[in-house]
């Protein structure tokens, strides 16, 4: 469309130049022809001016379209990152819930071990070998749960740091959108 306007304005410019040159070289006594030529030149000048105005409007529209495209991209980026942050926050919440359950289970294992030792002291008929084996099993469970808790703690720290980083990356995009949206 822009190339078409340029060709049309060039054609009109050439027509105006041709008419103007015919005025310069036309005899002075042809006043009726001169008034017709002057009218045509005025019309052509108006047409060229309208074309120039249309080109300016088209350039303004193109700038507006570019601005809207950039805003749409920024909003899509913001939406994508926000969903990623929400996903990470759900994962953090899930890991915290798992950590709380494992800590509760660890307390139950400690309580069970203490109770088992107390029963073994109070009841001499209990097999010391079975008691020792069960206490060893509880100790192994406790070590596995403790290792899992440490792993979850590391994962939570990593996820929270990633969330903070993603949120800091969103701040400039949010500012861009707020300053460029017309409310």
Q: Which residues contact 181 (CB under 8 A, 6 or more apart)?
A: 71
Parse the chain into domains and list their residue ranges. 2-180
* pTM metric for this prediction: 0.62
- C-alpha dihedral sign at 27, 28, 30, 35: positive
Q: How far is CA 143 from CA 47, 74, 149, in A?
A: 88, 48, 10
pLDDT truncated to tens, each residue of the chain (183 aa)?
566 666 766 676 666 666 566 555 555 445 656 677 778 777 877 777 787 788 888 888 888 888 889 888 888 898 999 999 999 999 999 999 999 999 999 999 999 999 988 888 888 777 788 888 998 999 999 999 999 999 999 999 999 999 999 999 888 888 888 888 764
Tokens found for residue 149:
């808790």
Q: Which residues contact 175 (CB under 8 A, 6 or more apart)?
A: none
Distance, CA of 6 to CA of 8 (rounded, Å): 5
Tokens found for residue 55:
């080109």
Tokens found for residue 138:
């509880």
Q: What's the DSSP call for residue 42?
A: H
In Å, how far from its chain's centre is CA 6?
38
């Amino acid at each position: 469309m822009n190339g078409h306007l340029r060709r049309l304005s060039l054609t009109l410019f050439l027509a105006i130049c041709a008419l103007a040159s015919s005025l310069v070289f036309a005899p002075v006594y042809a006043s009726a022809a001169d008034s017709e030529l002057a009218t045509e030149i005025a019309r052509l000048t108006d047409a060229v001016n309208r074309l120039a105005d249309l080109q300016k409007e088209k350039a303004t529209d193109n700038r507006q379209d570019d601005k809207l495209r950039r805003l749409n991209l920024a909003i899509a980026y913001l939406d994508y990152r926000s969903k990623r942050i929400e996903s990470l926050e759900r994962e953090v919440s899930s890991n915290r819930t798992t950590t709380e359950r494992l800590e509760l289970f660890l307390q139950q294992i400690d309580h069970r071990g203490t109770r088992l030792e107390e029963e073994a002291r109070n009841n001499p008929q209990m097999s010391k070998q079975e008691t020792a084996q069960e206490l060893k099993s509880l100790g192994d469970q406790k070590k596995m749960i403790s290792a899992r808790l440490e792993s979850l703690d590391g994962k939570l720290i990593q996820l929270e740091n990633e969330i903070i980083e993603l949120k800091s990356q969103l701040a400039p995009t949010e500012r861009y959108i707020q300053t460029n949206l017309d409310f």
